[in-house]
Copies of this chain bind each other. A is one copy, B any other.
Amino acid sequence: MEFDEAVRSRRSVHEYSDEPVDDDTLEAVFERVRYSPSSYNLQPWEFLVLTEDGNRERLQEVAYGQEHVTDAPVAVAVLGNTDPSAHAEAVAEDQLRKGYLPNEEAKEGLLETIEGMAERDEETNRNWATKSTALAGMTLLHAARAEGLATCPVGGFDADALREEFDIDDQYEPVMLVTMGHAAANAQDTNAPRKFRRSVDEIVHREAFEPTAADLDDEVVTESYATQ
Protein backbone atom coordinates (compact mmCIF):
# COMPACT_ATOMS: atom_id res chain seq x y z
CA MET A 1 0.00 0.00 0.00
CA GLU A 2 1.17 3.53 -0.70
CA PHE A 3 2.41 5.35 2.39
CA ASP A 4 -0.10 8.15 1.86
CA GLU A 5 -2.99 5.74 1.63
CA ALA A 6 -1.91 3.89 4.78
CA VAL A 7 -1.76 7.16 6.72
CA ARG A 8 -4.94 8.67 5.32
CA SER A 9 -7.07 5.55 5.56
CA ARG A 10 -5.97 4.58 9.08
CA ARG A 11 -8.83 5.10 11.50
CA SER A 12 -9.29 4.06 15.13
CA VAL A 13 -11.73 1.18 14.67
CA HIS A 14 -13.87 -0.27 17.47
CA GLU A 15 -15.89 -2.85 15.46
CA TYR A 16 -14.28 -5.87 13.84
CA SER A 17 -15.39 -8.71 11.58
CA ASP A 18 -15.01 -12.35 12.62
CA GLU A 19 -12.14 -12.85 10.19
CA PRO A 20 -8.98 -13.84 12.06
CA VAL A 21 -5.53 -12.37 11.41
CA ASP A 22 -3.20 -15.07 10.14
CA ASP A 23 0.29 -15.50 11.55
CA ASP A 24 2.01 -14.45 8.32
CA THR A 25 0.22 -11.10 8.43
CA LEU A 26 1.12 -10.59 12.08
CA GLU A 27 4.73 -11.46 11.26
CA ALA A 28 4.74 -8.95 8.38
CA VAL A 29 3.41 -6.21 10.66
CA PHE A 30 6.03 -6.72 13.37
CA GLU A 31 8.75 -7.16 10.76
CA ARG A 32 8.13 -3.49 9.94
CA VAL A 33 7.78 -2.40 13.57
CA ARG A 34 11.34 -3.46 14.35
CA TYR A 35 12.72 -0.88 11.90
CA SER A 36 11.66 1.92 14.26
CA PRO A 37 14.40 4.22 15.57
CA SER A 38 15.54 4.52 19.19
CA SER A 39 18.29 6.31 21.13
CA TYR A 40 21.58 4.54 20.38
CA ASN A 41 19.43 1.80 18.76
CA LEU A 42 18.49 0.52 22.23
CA GLN A 43 15.09 -0.84 21.08
CA PRO A 44 13.23 -0.95 24.41
CA TRP A 45 9.94 -2.19 22.89
CA GLU A 46 8.18 -5.45 23.71
CA PHE A 47 4.78 -6.63 22.48
CA LEU A 48 2.47 -9.00 24.30
CA VAL A 49 0.21 -10.33 21.55
CA LEU A 50 -3.05 -11.96 22.63
CA THR A 51 -5.29 -13.93 20.30
CA GLU A 52 -6.77 -16.57 22.61
CA ASP A 53 -10.27 -15.69 23.81
CA GLY A 54 -9.49 -16.17 27.47
CA ASN A 55 -6.46 -13.91 27.32
CA ARG A 56 -8.28 -11.13 25.52
CA GLU A 57 -10.99 -11.40 28.15
CA ARG A 58 -8.35 -10.94 30.85
CA LEU A 59 -7.04 -7.89 28.98
CA GLN A 60 -10.56 -6.51 28.64
CA GLU A 61 -10.91 -6.49 32.43
CA VAL A 62 -7.76 -4.43 32.65
CA ALA A 63 -9.11 -2.08 29.95
CA TYR A 64 -12.27 -1.23 31.89
CA GLY A 65 -14.40 -3.64 29.86
CA GLN A 66 -13.93 -1.99 26.46
CA GLU A 67 -15.80 -4.22 24.02
CA HIS A 68 -13.39 -4.04 21.09
CA VAL A 69 -10.65 -5.72 23.16
CA THR A 70 -12.48 -9.03 22.75
CA ASP A 71 -14.30 -8.13 19.52
CA ALA A 72 -10.96 -7.79 17.72
CA PRO A 73 -9.17 -11.08 16.98
CA VAL A 74 -5.85 -9.64 18.16
CA ALA A 75 -5.04 -7.42 21.13
CA VAL A 76 -1.56 -6.16 21.84
CA ALA A 77 -0.03 -4.72 24.99
CA VAL A 78 2.78 -2.39 23.96
CA LEU A 79 5.47 -2.30 26.66
CA GLY A 80 8.60 -0.23 27.11
CA ASN A 81 11.68 -1.50 28.92
CA THR A 82 12.66 1.27 31.35
CA ASP A 83 16.22 -0.06 31.57
CA PRO A 84 18.16 1.52 28.68
CA SER A 85 21.07 -0.86 29.28
CA ALA A 86 19.01 -4.02 28.73
CA HIS A 87 20.53 -4.69 25.28
CA ALA A 88 23.58 -2.42 25.52
CA GLU A 89 26.28 -5.02 24.85
CA ALA A 90 24.67 -6.30 21.63
CA VAL A 91 23.90 -2.76 20.46
CA ALA A 92 27.46 -1.53 21.03
CA GLU A 93 29.11 -4.64 19.57
CA ASP A 94 26.97 -4.28 16.42
CA GLN A 95 28.09 -0.66 15.98
CA LEU A 96 31.71 -1.65 16.41
CA ARG A 97 31.47 -4.43 13.84
CA LYS A 98 29.81 -2.17 11.26
CA GLY A 99 32.16 0.76 11.62
CA TYR A 100 29.81 3.14 13.42
CA LEU A 101 32.35 3.01 16.24
CA PRO A 102 36.07 3.10 15.35
CA ASN A 103 37.49 0.82 18.06
CA GLU A 104 37.00 -1.03 21.34
CA GLU A 105 37.65 2.15 23.30
CA ALA A 106 34.77 3.90 21.56
CA LYS A 107 32.58 0.90 22.28
CA GLU A 108 33.46 1.11 25.98
CA GLY A 109 32.61 4.80 25.86
CA LEU A 110 29.18 4.07 24.41
CA LEU A 111 28.56 1.41 27.06
CA GLU A 112 29.45 3.95 29.76
CA THR A 113 27.06 6.48 28.22
CA ILE A 114 24.25 3.93 28.22
CA GLU A 115 25.09 2.95 31.80
CA GLY A 116 24.77 6.62 32.69
CA MET A 117 21.32 6.67 31.10
CA ALA A 118 20.33 3.62 33.13
CA GLU A 119 21.31 5.43 36.32
CA ARG A 120 18.94 8.35 35.73
CA ASP A 121 15.93 8.73 38.00
CA GLU A 122 12.92 6.48 37.54
CA GLU A 123 10.67 9.16 36.05
CA THR A 124 13.23 10.11 33.42
CA ASN A 125 13.68 6.51 32.31
CA ARG A 126 9.95 5.87 32.36
CA ASN A 127 9.48 8.86 30.07
CA TRP A 128 12.34 7.70 27.87
CA ALA A 129 10.86 4.21 27.51
CA THR A 130 7.44 5.65 26.78
CA LYS A 131 8.78 7.90 24.04
CA SER A 132 10.90 5.26 22.33
CA THR A 133 8.18 2.65 22.51
CA ALA A 134 5.48 5.01 21.25
CA LEU A 135 7.55 5.46 18.08
CA ALA A 136 7.33 1.71 17.53
CA GLY A 137 3.64 1.87 18.45
CA MET A 138 2.95 4.30 15.65
CA THR A 139 4.81 2.10 13.20
CA LEU A 140 2.64 -0.78 14.41
CA LEU A 141 -0.58 1.12 13.66
CA HIS A 142 0.58 2.13 10.19
CA ALA A 143 2.14 -1.23 9.34
CA ALA A 144 -1.10 -3.00 10.27
CA ARG A 145 -3.04 -0.64 8.02
CA ALA A 146 -0.57 -1.27 5.17
CA GLU A 147 -1.43 -4.98 5.57
CA GLY A 148 -5.12 -4.14 5.19
CA LEU A 149 -5.91 -4.33 8.90
CA ALA A 150 -7.77 -1.98 11.19
CA THR A 151 -6.49 -1.04 14.63
CA CYS A 152 -7.42 1.02 17.65
CA PRO A 153 -4.82 2.42 20.04
CA VAL A 154 -6.08 2.33 23.63
CA GLY A 155 -4.79 4.71 26.28
CA GLY A 156 -7.47 3.95 28.85
CA PHE A 157 -6.41 0.93 30.90
CA ASP A 158 -5.10 0.11 34.36
CA ALA A 159 -1.34 -0.28 33.95
CA ASP A 160 -0.82 -1.83 37.39
CA ALA A 161 -3.63 -4.32 36.82
CA LEU A 162 -2.11 -5.22 33.44
CA ARG A 163 1.26 -5.90 35.08
CA GLU A 164 -0.34 -8.04 37.74
CA GLU A 165 -2.67 -9.97 35.44
CA PHE A 166 0.03 -10.86 32.94
CA ASP A 167 2.97 -11.15 35.33
CA ILE A 168 4.86 -8.21 33.84
CA ASP A 169 7.80 -6.93 35.87
CA ASP A 170 7.81 -3.30 37.06
CA GLN A 171 10.76 -2.74 34.77
CA TYR A 172 8.33 -2.63 31.83
CA GLU A 173 6.14 0.41 31.30
CA PRO A 174 2.77 -0.32 29.64
CA VAL A 175 2.60 2.36 26.93
CA MET A 176 -0.63 1.53 25.15
CA LEU A 177 -2.89 -1.29 24.07
CA VAL A 178 -3.76 -1.89 20.42
CA THR A 179 -6.71 -3.88 19.12
CA MET A 180 -6.25 -5.27 15.62
CA GLY A 181 -8.28 -7.12 13.02
CA HIS A 182 -10.42 -6.61 9.96
CA ALA A 183 -12.90 -3.75 10.27
CA ALA A 184 -16.55 -4.78 10.33
CA ALA A 185 -18.25 -3.78 7.08
CA ASN A 186 -20.62 -1.53 8.98
CA ALA A 187 -18.09 -0.19 11.49
CA GLN A 188 -19.12 3.31 12.50
CA ASP A 189 -15.50 4.45 12.69
CA THR A 190 -14.76 3.75 9.03
CA ASN A 191 -18.08 5.03 7.72
CA ALA A 192 -18.51 8.18 9.80
CA PRO A 193 -16.74 11.37 8.72
CA ARG A 194 -13.20 11.44 10.07
CA LYS A 195 -12.74 13.56 13.18
CA PHE A 196 -11.25 16.99 12.57
CA ARG A 197 -7.53 17.55 12.78
CA ARG A 198 -5.77 20.75 13.74
CA SER A 199 -4.40 22.36 10.58
CA VAL A 200 -0.78 22.41 9.48
CA ASP A 201 -0.80 26.18 10.06
CA GLU A 202 -1.91 25.62 13.63
CA ILE A 203 0.58 22.91 14.57
CA VAL A 204 3.61 24.17 12.64
CA HIS A 205 5.42 27.23 13.96
CA ARG A 206 8.00 28.68 11.61
CA GLU A 207 11.12 30.05 13.33
CA ALA A 208 9.27 31.07 16.53
CA PHE A 209 6.83 29.30 18.85
CA GLU A 210 3.37 30.85 18.95
CA PRO A 211 0.75 28.24 19.81
CA THR A 212 -2.90 28.89 18.96
CA ALA A 213 -6.18 27.25 19.91
CA ALA A 214 -7.81 24.60 17.76
CA ASP A 215 -10.10 25.82 15.00
CA LEU A 216 -12.91 23.41 14.18
CA ASP A 217 -12.98 24.50 10.54
CA ASP A 218 -9.74 22.60 9.95
CA GLU A 219 -11.32 19.49 8.51
CA VAL A 220 -9.39 16.67 6.97
CA VAL A 221 -10.86 14.89 4.01
CA THR A 222 -12.95 11.94 5.02
CA GLU A 223 -11.80 8.65 3.60
CA SER A 224 -13.24 5.25 4.20
CA TYR A 225 -11.64 1.89 3.69
CA ALA A 226 -14.68 -0.18 4.52
CA THR A 227 -15.33 -0.69 0.83
CA GLN A 228 -11.76 -1.08 -0.35
Contact = CB atoms under 8 A, between A and B. Distances in A.
| Number of identical protomers | 2
Task: Describe A's contact surface by its main secondary structure.
Answer: mixed
Contacts of A48: 205, 208-209
Given A206-B49, A215-B90, A220 B34 contact: yes
A168 interface: yes
Given A46-B203, A55-B207, A123-B123, A87 B130 contact: no
Nearest to A9: B35
Given A204-B47, A207-B51, A197 B35 contact: yes
A1 B146 CA distance: 12
Interface in A193-228: 193, 195-200, 203-209, 211, 213-216, 220
Contacts of A46: 203, 205, 209, 211
Nearest to A123: B123
Contacts of A94: 195-196, 216
A141 interface: yes
A218 to B, nearest CB: 8
Interface of A: 1-8, 10, 12, 26-27, 30-37, 39, 41, 43, 45-52, 55, 77, 79, 81, 86-87, 90-91, 93-95, 98-100, 123, 126-128, 130-132, 134-139, 141-143, 146, 153, 155-156, 166-168, 172, 175-176, 188, 192-193, 195-200, 203-209, 211, 213-216, 220
